[in-house]
Amino acid sequence: MTDNFDYSFNITIVGSEQVEKSSIRKHFASNIELNTLYDPTIRVDFSSHIIKLDEVRIKLRFWDTAGSEIYPQISPAYYIKAHGIIMVYDVTDLYSFGILESYLSKALKLAEEKTKIMLVANNCDLIGNRKISYETGKEFADAHNLLYFEVSCKSHEQVEYAIVSLASLIVENEKRNEYILKQKNNSNVGSTHSREAARDSSKCNLL
C-alpha cells in the first residue's frame, strides 16, 4: 500500500499497567487473534495504520505508552502533539479506573483544546470478574465530555468501531477548522480588496 494520505493524526494511548493498551493497538492494525502472552511496553511503542473514511485517507500514528510506574513519566509531548488521546482501563481492575483522573488531568492540562479524548473500557469478555459497570464508566465519560466505548480484544468487540469513531471525530474537527480558516482568509482578502477599491475610487475622484 502506498503511503498517500490526506490527514495524519497522532493518537496517544495511556492507562495503567496491563490494561491492554498494546492489545488494542495491535488488534486494530491487524485484527489478529489476541496474543495471551503479556509483553509489557517499555516506555513507548509505535505503529501506524492508514484507514479510509468516505474517500478520505487518514494515517493514524499510535503512540502506545507504558503503564508501568517503573518507567519515568511519559514526555509531555505525547499529550501536546496528540490529535486524539485514548485512555484505557480494565473493567476487572478498580485501580485502573481510579487512576483515570490523573491521566485526564494531564491530558486536559497539556493537550490542545481541540484534542479529542476517548475512554475505553477493555476486558468486557471477563463478565464474572467485572468490577466497574457500564453505567459507572459512562458516567465518568459523560461528566468529562469524553467519547466512551466498552471493548474486548479477546472477543473482537468494538475495537475497530471505537478507533474509527475517534478518527472521524478528529477529521470532522479538522475540516471545520480548515473551513473557518478559509473563511477568515477570504474575509481578510475581501477587506484588502475593498481597501484597494476605496483607494482606487478616491484616485478617480481626485483626477
Q: Which of 41, 92, 96, 158 binds Mg ion (CB under 5 A)?
A: 41
Residue 18, binding choice from ligand GTP, Mg ion, none, Cβ under 5 to 8 Å by partner class: ligand GTP
Integer Cα distance of 46 and 131 in angstroms: 30
Shortest-Cβ-distance residue relative to ligand GTP = 67
Integer Cα distance of 148 and 139 in angstroms: 10
Which residue, 19 or 118, has its beta carbon nearer to ligand GTP?
19
Q: What are phi and psi of 149, to 5 degrees?
A: -140, 140
Residue 146 in 3-state DSSP?
coil
Residues found near ligand GTP in the complex (CB under 6 A): 17-23, 34-36, 38-41, 66-68, 122-123, 125-126, 152-154
Residue 22 within binding range of Mg ion, rule CB under 5 A: yes
Cβ contacts of residue 19 below 8 Å, gap of 6+? 67, 88, 89, 90, 93, 96, 122
Residue 36, binding choice from Mg ion, ligand GTP, none, Cβ under 5 to 8 Å by partner class: ligand GTP
Residue 16 within binding range of Mg ion, rule CB under 5 A: no
Q: Which position has the grid cell 492508514? A: 50
Integer Cα distance of 161 and 150 in angstroms: 10
Q: How many CA atoms lie within 13 Å of 13's alpha carbon, on the beta-carbon side?
A: 34
CB of 194 to ligand GTP, least distance (A): 57
Residues 90-119 vs Mg ion: string with x where CB under 5 A? ------------------------------
CB of 105 to Mg ion, least distance (A): 22
